[in-house]
Amino acid sequence: MGRKLIGILMEEVEIVRIMEDQVLNGPKYFYRNISVDSVIFGYHERELKVLLQRPQNFIKWTLPGGYVLKTESVDNAALRTVRYRTKLDNLFLHQFKVFGEPNRVKDDTFTPEAYGKIIGAKIENDHWMFENFVSIAYFALTEYSLVQPTGASYVEECCWFDINNLPGLIYDHSDIIKEALKALKLFIHQHPIGYELLPDKFTLPEIHSLYETILDKKIDIRNFAKKLTSIGLITKLEEQRNIGAHRSPYLYMFDKDKYDQLIRDEEIIVI
Amino acid sequence: MGRKLIGILMEEVEIVRIMEDQVLNGPKYFYRNISVDSVIFGYHERELKVLLQRPQNFIKWTLPGGYVLKTESVDNAALRTVRYRTKLDNLFLHQFKVFGEPNRVKDDTFTPEAYGKIIGAKIENDHWMFENFVSIAYFALTEYSLVQPTGASYVEECCWFDINNLPGLIYDHSDIIKEALKALKLFIHQHPIGYELLPDKFTLPEIHSLYETILDKKIDIRNFAKKLTSIGLITKLEEQRNIGAHRSPYLYMFDKDKYDQLIRDEEIIVI
């Protein structure tokens, strides 16, 4: 969807009004049977995390997501639901896959009866919220130490989990995360990353760690440096960082023009 | 969706029965507001084509596509609609993008009034077929000389068009083709191609042409050969093809084990 917000984000007050009404009249506002789910990856110092939420009275955790208003684009629905429930804004969300198996949203811990108890009303078995949903999935990559996720409305908890230590997830959400991770690994061969994740001036080990963490494999640091500098993505500065006796690694910067050109061209970047 | 058919394809007779009923009762069988569209690329001797269809009484052409039955997966709907309308079977369809702008399906040449005339009934402006559709798009790559596309049911014409010379297309279908071509170019860096497109034994210029045609750029043939042989994807045979005086190029074959492994691993293949 490119690197800017698409469409006009709705006012919070309007969203709350709609949400109160949605259990009864959802299909008036939203496409029936279509949902969006977002896998937000957070990187910080050699760790990759995923943002999850647990709605009120839920036992299992879910990805941030929701329904698509008939008046907005699907991309906008992903942005809106991430922003609304997590307070994250300006994320670069990438649509990567559709999850469309029949009966993918069945779960013993979240039934019409259980949901009825939560909201204090009788929910019929054929209620629209319990029909099957075709989910359009997005991923994003962000600097997780900059983010303070907070639940909103009916979300009780919202926090980061280590990618290798996830809690119990609803429906096929663990598959969605697994596929998002595969998509992220392919993505970094097609797009430069790091501009939002690293400081303005960074050392070679810092950018090298970022790639090793995401690709989850060892990368030869000399070839890595040679490749990134030879395509012009990063430039070595005269400046060094003094981090101790005999340890003053050179600093590097992104060439932002080249960075943006690589985003536009979608040329393959080989690491 | 991998390299095999998913789910059980419906019997033709069942599909026809449903199609007769769908104008009136579509939302009983299909998800409302969800469609699939497939961009079938045909390769043959340095030419890349796209398969298009023109439904009965339509002025513009469309991609092969249709609706998703509530009892099937979205992937299966794509296979079914391609098979049903084009007689193409066993295609490896790759889901690549969702087209979900509001009002994307408006077109002056295809209105409820015009459609009513075609089927001889009054179609109201708020008929479900004229609501907006979120389209889940797929692409496939096939050997086009092996295929005899034939229209079925309400499809009047179905044929191949040169990628650089497309007819008038409905809705955002020309955008969908443009995005599919971008996805195909990225795809061939992530997956080996050619097994279904080239003869068992082929010359270097033959596989080189395939890559040049799809990537739409010149590729140095010596580096290309070195790369494909060094990763073990193709093997040079002792055998030569005799195509004239002083012209007997060596033949090559795919290493099918390596080919399948590269498909599984989704490692980057750099050309």
Which of A29, A31, A68, A93 to mutate: most B Cβ within 10 Å? A31
Q: B126, B161, B186 — which closes off a domain? A: B186
CB pairs under 8 A between A and B: 70
ipTM for the predicted complex: 0.86
Instruction: Check which CATH number belongs to the domain holding A124 and give it.
Output: 3.90.79.10
Is the distance from CB of B82 to CB of B9 less than 8 angstroms?
A: no
pLDDT, averaged across chain A:
86
Ranking A138-142, A148-152, B62-66, B263-267 by mean pLDDT, the lowest is A148-152
Instruction: Check which CATH number belongs to the domain holding B209 and give it.
Output: 1.10.10.10
Is the same domain home to A205 and A258? yes
- Bridge pairing between strands A250-254 and B30-44: unpaired
Using CB atoms within 10 A of its CB, is residue A249 exposed (0-12), middle (13-18) or buried (19+)? Answer: middle
Q: What is the pLDDT of residue B19?
A: 59
Closest residue in B to A265 (Cα) is B182
Q: What is the pLDDT of residue B143?
A: 85
Is the same domain home to B201 and B75? no
Is the same domain home to B154 and B231? no
Identify which of B34, B71, B186 has the shortest CB distance to residue A34.
B34
Domain count within chain A:
2
Q: What is the pLDDT of residue B271?
A: 61
- What confidence category does residue A209 fall into, taking pLDDT thresholds of 50, 70 and 90? very high
Is the same domain home to A216 and A176? no
Identify which of A70, A95, A102 has the shortest CB distance to residue B72.
A102
Is the same domain home to A47 and A172? yes
Identify which of B73, B98, B266 has the shortest CB distance to residue A74.
B98
Q: Across the interface, do A100 and B33 touch by the CB < 8 Å criterion? A: no
Token readout for B180 is 């599919």
Is the same domain home to B28 and B117? yes
The 10s digit of each residue's pLDDT in A24-80 is 788 889 999 999 999 999 998 889 999 999 988 889 999 999 999 999 999 999 999
Q: Which domain holds residue A237?
A: 191-265
3-state SS, residue B61: strand
Using CB atoms within 10 A of its CB, is residue B173 exposed (0-12), middle (13-18) or buried (19+)? Answer: buried
Residue A141 lies in a domain: yes
Q: What is the pLDDT of residue A4?
A: 34
Q: What is the pLDDT of residue A2?
A: 33
Is the distance from CB of A140 to CB of A93 less than 8 angstroms?
A: yes
Chain A residues with CB-CB distance to B134 below 8 A = 31, 34, 68, 74, 136
The 10s digit of each residue's pLDDT in A88-105 is 777 889 999 999 999 999
**How far is the C-alpha of A103 from the C-alpha of B9, rounded, in Å?**
18
Residue A65 lies in a domain: yes
Dihedral pair phi/psi, residue A46, rounded to 5°: 70, 15
pLDDT average, residue stretch A108-122? 85
Q: What is the pLDDT of residue B5?
A: 35
Q: Is A97 on the interface with B (CB under 8 A)?
A: yes
Low-confidence ranges of chain B (pLDDT < 70): 1-20, 85-86, 150-153, 266-271
Give per-residue burial for B64-90: e unless 16+ CB within 10 Å, then b: bbbbbbbebbbbbbbbbbbbbbbebee
Q: What is the pLDDT of residue A19?
A: 59
Identify which of B31, B268, B270 has the shortest CB distance to residue A134.
B31
Is the same domain home to B85 and B16? yes
Is the same domain home to B166 and B199? no
Is the same domain home to A16 and A90? yes
Q: Is B101 on the interface with A (CB under 8 A)?
A: yes
Contacts of A175 (CB under 8 A, 6+ apart): A99
The 10s digit of each residue's pLDDT in A1-31 is 333 333 334 445 555 565 567 777 888 899 9
Is the same domain home to A171 and A252? no
How distant is the alpha carbon of residue A69 from its chain centre? 20
